[in-house]
Amino acid sequence: MKRKWKWILGVGIVLAIAGGIYAKVKISQNGVVTVQTGKVVRQDLVSVVTASGEIKPRNYVNIGANVMGRIVEIYVKEGDKVRKNQVLARLESVQAQADLQAQQAALNSALAESSAAEAGLRAMDENLRTAAAGVDRARAELERAKLDYERASQLYKDKLVAKQEFDAKKSQYEALAAALREAEARLAQMKAQREQTAAQLAAAQRRVAQVRATLDRFADVLHKHSAISPIDGIVTNLPVRVGETVVPGVQNSAASLIMTIADMSVITAEVKVDETDIVNVKLDQVADVTIDAMPNRVFKGRVIEIGNTAILRSSGLAASQSAISSQEAKDFKVVIALDNPPDEARPGLSCTAKIVTATREKALSIPIQALTVRQRGDLEPEGKGGNVGAAANADPERQKKLKEELQGVFVVRNGVAEFREVKTGITGATDIEVLSGLKEGEEIITGSYKAIRTLRNQAKVKIDNKAPAKAES
């Protein structure tokens, strides 16, 4: 009986000791947080901006209607290659053709009048030259007759010649003077006729110019009844058919679209980049483009254009056209030229671009999820009044400083989590560059998300880096 009690007493003592040890362990583990950790390592980082959009030709032209009319002929079909200045389609142009022919006839008539006036003027010039020569000849003969008359007059006074001979010289002189006056009058009349003919020629030439200008206008009107390709390219859109009526554009209303010609020699990916990423995108940055219709293929390209106007994600309109755009998400257009575009690429194909905005070789890096934010007041010891709540009665500058948010990570040191402020650089797919605050090889807390979000500075931690068990389906 005594032996039995000894056994019972021994078991009780053992249980009491075990319970004390268990209680001590539990008390020591009170407030310990289980975390996952990782190392600060050096690795190559690539910062990538991902955006989606569609394939577009670099240069394309929408050919619209310049006049109202019915389509009578279409010479191409969708997918055809066309050349610059090639006629693609024609509109009904009976009236324009008739106007052009009538104006051509009027031009021919005006040209005939001008030619006749010009021929008449040339004839008048020839007659004027002949008349001027006759005047000169008559003036010379009159001068000779005048000398003879003066000599005969002197001889007659000296009674050396008969009166009959003197009278003959006088009559000859007077006749030649009259002939000179007649020639001069005829020359003056011909000059007046020439001026009249010159005026008729000038009027005919002005009429020719006027008719020619009208002819050019009618030719331009007739030209607008034809759809002509302004570039070399491919017909990518042909929404009309023969017999349909198209109309020109007016204010606030676009013209009817006849077809679209695209220059497929330069293919681009036009993507929309989020406003938070656009500041990192620069011209000539390289990009990898994938096209949804061509899986498992990556095409290289480079950035050739960056839009300056924000585009509302909900409506696709420019932010400047919306009065409530400040509350909406915005994107910016970025154009990427493909280096070797595939032959089967078509405008409108959906695509995704990954633009490399920065690279770092052997950069000090940590997992992105390790980063967290704490207020400065939460990091200072309670006894020093560092707690934000304890500093309620402090001066405003002190309160402002204690509420300052710091970016950093928790470093594990001797089983305790110590907050360390860090400066970061570029962001990779899963890691971020550390510029200051950490050293290579230091152990930092990387999970769980809940633990990092609620962890306090100088808290005790327990490291458990085992992979979580998968939940059975």
This prediction has a pTM of 0.62
Task: Examine domains 96-223 and 265-362 and report if their fold is the same.
Answer: no
C-alpha–C-alpha distance, residues 312 and 320, integer Å: 9
Q: What radius of gyration, in Å, describes the C-alpha atoms of the chain?
A: 52
pLDDT in tens, 400-455: 888 888 899 999 998 899 999 999 998 888 899 999 999 999 999 998 888 888 88
Stretch 185-206: mean pLDDT? 85
Task: Answer whether CATH 2.40.420.20 is correct for domain 32-45+364-463.
Answer: yes
C-alpha–C-alpha distance, residues 300 and 286, integer Å: 7
Stretch 145-172: mean pLDDT? 79
Other C-beta atoms within 10 Å of 316: how many?
A: 9
| Residue 48 structure tokens | 């990538």
pLDDT in tens, 21-38: 554 444 444 568 889 999
Q: Where are the domains of the chain?
A: 32-45+364-463, 96-223, 265-362
Which residue in the block uniquely carries the two structure tokens 């940055």? 285
Q: What's domain 265-362's architecture?
A: Beta Barrel (2.40)
C-alpha–C-alpha distance, residues 320 and 214, integer Å: 45
pLDDT in tens, 115-132: 888 888 888 888 888 888
Q: Which residues contact 465 (CB under 8 A, 6 or more apart)?
A: 36, 37
Q: Which CATH number fits domain 96-223: 1.10.287, 3.40.50, 3.30.1140, 2.30.29?
A: 1.10.287
Per the CB < 8 A criterion, the answer to whether 249 and 42 are in contact is no
pLDDT in tens, 46-101: 999 999 999 999 888 999 998 898 999 999 999 899 999 999 999 998 888 888 89
The four Cα atoms 62, 68, 69, 73 give a dihedral, to 10 degrees, of -20
266 or 28: whose pLDDT is higher? 266
> Cα dihedral sign for 140, 144, 147, 150?
negative
Q: What percent of the chain has pLDDT over 70?
A: 87
